[in-house]
Amino acid sequence: MPASPCVVPDSIPHPYSIHEVECRVKTHDRVNGEYRRLVLSAPRSVLDCEPGQFFHLLCPQTEGFQPYLRRPMSIYSYDRIRGELSFLYKVAGTGTGALASLQPGEHLNIVGPLGRGFEIRREWRRPLLVARGVGLATLAPLASECARLGRPLTAICSARSPDLVMSTDLFRSFGAEVITVADAEGNSDVGSLTPLIEGLIRTRGIDAFFTCGSTRLMRMLQVIGSRHGIGGQVAVEQHMACGIGMCQACVRPFLRDGGAVNLRVCREGPVFDLHEVL
């Protein structure tokens, strides 16, 4: 079925306000051989966030990198009491290459919080988080929210090799049961993960799936969820330009009311119902 024209339900109000602010870099360190963590001192105005939301970062101009557009980046953590906002990222191109040059004490212009975040529905009592690589950054605030709500959490953390698996200590600090898998160990493929998750459904009573960053993992959870009647949510990654719904650059098709509709990932998402994503 062909997709319908872009649906832009702006009549639905966003429960937060968007701000453009200058933040001071507090710390900027390597997490492992590929990923960095950037911690900003941020005003309270941008710290009324939801898990799954993102910010648009104005990456600096350097001798080696001159990024033109802002870069969207998921929130790794936010602390209203300490006035901190942090991001976990991998240097993969011009924008993140420029971002990597920032030193403590320098400033970064950010816009946000943006998008619609995760919702932990009342009937979802035993969630499972499944993510790979930097997708784990997006799910970290969700793990914190599960702990606040007293929801027993299981997290499957995947990466190419064990030394690149991230956020395990953070998830455990929120009381989560953490399971790590890696390509190098031969247990991160769909053929290995499917029986693992099926077993968790039987033994842990898993009743909701949350994921981010990997189309392969998302499709696997859609299949398992359909088989067991389990719903959930996914944070969708998509190239963006404006980040606020004006440019239509992040439009992609979703399944709603039995048909395909085009929605903006930055505005109607980035978090969507697991079974809506085509």
Structure tokens at 168: 């395990």
Contacts 24+ apart (CB under 8 A), 203-206: 204/126, 204/128, 204/152, 204/154, 204/177, 205/125, 205/126, 206/126, 206/127, 206/128, 206/154, 206/230
Residue 74 annotated as part of some ligand binding site: yes
Residue 166 annotated as part of some ligand binding site: no
Cβ(217)–Cβ(132) under 8 Å? yes
Cβ(33)–Cβ(39) under 8 Å? no
Residue 250 annotated as part of some ligand binding site: yes
Residue 266 annotated as part of some ligand binding site: yes
Residue 73 annotated as part of some ligand binding site: yes
What are the CA-CA distances from residue 29 to residues 38, 134, 147 (Å)?
A: 7, 15, 26
Say how many C-beta atoms besides its own lie within 10 A of residue 212's C-beta: 28
Residue 72 annotated as part of some ligand binding site: yes
Residue 83 annotated as part of some ligand binding site: no
Residue 242 annotated as part of some ligand binding site: yes
Could you list the residues known to form a binding site for [2Fe-2S] cluster, using ranges: 242, 247, 250, 266
Could you list the residues known to form a binding site for FAD, using ranges: 71-74, 95-96
Could you list the residues known to form a binding site, using ranges: 71-74, 95-96, 242, 247, 250, 266
